[in-house]
């Protein structure tokens, strides 16, 4: 696969390839302390969408998106919840594969249900996978994530973090075994995991990851008191992480309903304006 045609994975700016994020994942199974996901037409944040659509609606969205932006090469699911917390994302990607077999299928997840979802991911043709790994030390991760939801049971503290980290390791190793190209997303949080991210890069490389995407914190909710990292802090962490993995440093922190060529065009408002939207916003 030529990653230059995949703007979410390319480490170089490619102003000729587009992508669409299909907002079909309504639920999440972990509780990040900085999480800001919900429904809004105006907030420009990851995890935000104008509308949550069903798998069948997503196919109509895809049809319209291709007509507006023929340069689209990638269809992915990145929210607003976790794409593997329910069946909607895999149902959607299977539909996309049947109608648009030339499109690269992509998915972004926290990894909690990655191992259990692998068979369907492969059937849906997912070849590029993003896993958010904010720490591989339970004590550090507990400062970032309140806990996980397993079989509808909330598990907090370091016990919950250990479950998540172990699930990420198993899932990433299995994805690597199945020849997926794996990108790790790590949110850079000054004073919490800034010194830890190079360790994430080293361990993730051992698990089978290919690329690291370091995402500066957008201060919000329980972490609203922490300042976003400076350019110098970001560069220092990226330089250390580069010893282990390629680092993507052109991420635009796209919304869960983004559509178009990153930094060049965005057709989300055209698409969801035609479908109608709900103006609400929630956290959690």
Domain boundary assignment for the chain: 3-275
For domain 3-275, the CATH class is alpha beta
Segment holding 3, helix H or strand E: none
Chain-centre distance of CA 221, in angstroms?
19
Which is nearest to 120 in space by CA: 153, 149, 86?
86
Query: Cα separation of 30 and 107, whole Å?
Result: 17
Contacts of 100 (CB under 8 A, 6+ apart): 62, 66, 75
Query: Cα separation of 250 and 215, whole Å?
Result: 10
Question: What's the pLDDT at 115?
Answer: 98
CA distances, 268 to each of 163, 201, 256 (Å): 36, 33, 10
The better pLDDT of the pair 88, 2 is held by 88
- Bridge partners for 153 per DSSP: 150
Three-state DSSP at 127 gives strand
Per-residue pLDDT averaged across 176-201, rounded? 97
User: pLDDT tens digits for 21-36?
Assistant: 999 999 999 999 998 7
**Lowest-pLDDT range of 1-15, 82-96, 221-235, 246-260:** 1-15
Question: What's the pLDDT at 283?
Answer: 37
Scanning the structure block, which residue is given the tokens 């390791």?
Answer: 169
Question: What's the pLDDT at 241?
Answer: 97
Question: What's the pLDDT at 37?
Answer: 66
Query: Cα separation of 247 and 213, whole Å?
Result: 6
- % of residues, the chain, pLDDT over 90: 70
Contacts of 61 (CB under 8 A, 6+ apart): 20, 22, 53, 271, 275
Contacts of 177 (CB under 8 A, 6+ apart): 208
Strands 181-188, 104-109: parallel, antiparallel or unpaired by DSSP? unpaired
Scanning the structure block, which residue is given the tokens 């990040």?
Answer: 32
Which is nearest to 94 in space by CA: 26, 24, 37, 182?
24
CA distances, 225 to each of 177, 189, 193 (Å): 41, 11, 15
């Amino acid at each position: 696969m030529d990653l230059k045609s995949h703007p979410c994975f390319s480490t170089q700016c490619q102003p000729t390839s587009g992508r669409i994020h299909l907002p079909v994942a309504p639920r999440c199974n972990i509780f990040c302390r900085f999480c800001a996901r919900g429904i809004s037409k105006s907030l420009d944040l990851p995890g935000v969408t104008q509308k949550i659509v069903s798998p069948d609606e997503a196919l109509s969205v895809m049809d319209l998106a291709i007509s507006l932006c023929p340069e689209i090469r990638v269809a992915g699911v990145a929210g607003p919840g976790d794409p593997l917390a329910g069946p909607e994302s895999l149902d959607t990607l299977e539909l996309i594969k049947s109608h648009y077999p030339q499109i690269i299928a992509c998915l972004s997840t926290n990894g909690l249900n990655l191992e259990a979802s692998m068979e369907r991911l492969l059937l849906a043709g997912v070849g590029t996978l993003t896993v958010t790994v904010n720490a591989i030390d339970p004590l550090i991760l507990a400062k970032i994530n309140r806990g996980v939801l397993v079989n509808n049971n909330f598990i907090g503290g370091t016990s919950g973090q250990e479950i998540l980290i172990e699930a990420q390791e198993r899932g990433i190793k299995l994805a690597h075994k199945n020849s997926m190209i794996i990108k790790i997303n790590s949110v850079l949080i000054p004073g919490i995991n800034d010194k830890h991210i190079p360790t994430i890069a080293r361990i993730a490389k051992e698990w089978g990851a290919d690329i690291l995407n370091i995402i500066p914190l957008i201060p919000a909710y329980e972490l609203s008191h922490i300042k976003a990292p400076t350019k110098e802090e970001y560069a220092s962490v990226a330089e250390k992480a580069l010893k282990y993995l390629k680092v993507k440093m052109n991420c635009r922190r796209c919304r869960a309903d983004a559509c178009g060529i990153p930094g060049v065009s965005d057709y989300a408002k055209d698409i969801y304006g035609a479908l109608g939207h709900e103006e609400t916003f929630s956290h959690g």
